[in-house]
Structure 1
Amino acid sequence: MTPEIRRAALCSGGAIAALAVVAFVAQVGQVAPWWVLVPGGVLVAGLAGLAGARMGREDAVRAQALEPGETVLGAHAVRPPYANHDPAGVYETPPFQLRVTTRGMQLWERSVLLWNHPWPELRVVLDGPRLRVLHEGRDAGVMLLERPGAEHEVLLTARKYGAG
């Protein structure tokens, strides 16, 4: 793990842990004695810190994959189009993310880059509610975007940057 990724994980974990403890104390502090608040706060801080560190690490790994001068135009949570997949829980990040950049598209599964293709090599089409991404004539991905209407944003961005 590089120092940048470690720093991002620690900062994110610490910030999320602090916010979680403040929220815990604000909720429970009025009715619970101190001897319940202390172990409860430690437990909440630990769990929230772990989750925050994982999110910070994922963000830092994804940021390192960008080329110099490349910027992220949008990041969209996606799910497999045909699997019986339950949506992510309230405190859980979706496992798949489609990132649209000024250079092309990237598909991530947590902190693993599944593919990264530049715009001129891509063809992006809508297949009903599904976004179909073709790379050199073959399917690179067929996916459902979590947020309604996001597939149209991706399609417009693809056309703007030269995808077929």
Structure 2
Amino acid sequence: MAVVGTGIRADLPWWAVAAAALPTAGLGGWTGAQIGRQRGIRNEVLEPGETVLDTYTVRPPYTEHTPPAAHEGPQYQLRVTTRSLEMWERSALLWRHPWPELRLVMVGPRLHIQHGGRDAGTMLLEQPGAAQEICGVARRYGVN
């Protein structure tokens, strides 16, 4: 709608506004469909009564990773639910562990995750304070 509003305020002819608005609307619709598809795939693994509390973007483990294109969204995400912690690479579930089986340790800004006495991963989360938030949720749901 911003394209249409800007075109009208600039006194552009209707055909020029339509020429700019149609590709913009198409790209927006396609992006929305991709986001909805990814959410649908992710929600299939939820158990009955389980809800998603939050999703955190994880920085790629190596600096040589090229950043994803804006329409692709973040490559790695840690999803926090009422029953488990999940690691996703876009639409692919890498692992899912129930809260009682996890041990979380904060090491500076990083979150070290252990499952069954073995390392599940060390995450560097993009959002400030995300590691503290996840540890708080973990305590609430039975992680020591």
TM-score of the superposed pair, with normalisation by structure 1: 0.78
The separation in 1 between residues aligned to 2:63 and 2:117, in whole angstroms, is 24
Unpaired runs of 5+ in structure 1? Answer: 1-21
1:29 is matched with which residue?
8
Correspondent of 2:130 among 150, 154, 161: 150
Q: Which amino acid aligns with 1:150?
A: A
Measured in 2, the distance between the counterparts of 1:132 and 1:61 equals 26
Q: Relative to total residues, which structure has the larger helix share, 1 or 2?
A: 1
Q: 1-side partners of 2:73 and 2:54: how far apart? A: 16
Change (3 A) 1:82 1:141: same
- Structure 2 Cα separation of the partners of residues 43 and 58 of structure 1: 23
**Structure 2 regions of 5+ residues with no counterpart?**
none
- CA offsets, 1:90-139, max 9 Å, x none? 66521221111111101111111111100111111112211111111222
Query: Which of 81, 85, 95 is equivalent to 1:105?
Result: 85
For 1:133, give the aligned amino acid.
I
Identity %: 52
Verify: 1:141 aligned to 2:121, yes or no: yes
- Provide the C-alpha distance between the structure 2 equivalents of 1:49 and 1:110, rounded to a whole number of angstroms: 19
4+ runs of 1 displaced by more than 4 Å? Answer: 84-92
Which moved further from structure 2: 76-85 or 134-143? 76-85
Displacement of 1:28: 2.3
**Is residue 49 of structure 1 aligned with residue 29 of structure 2?**
yes
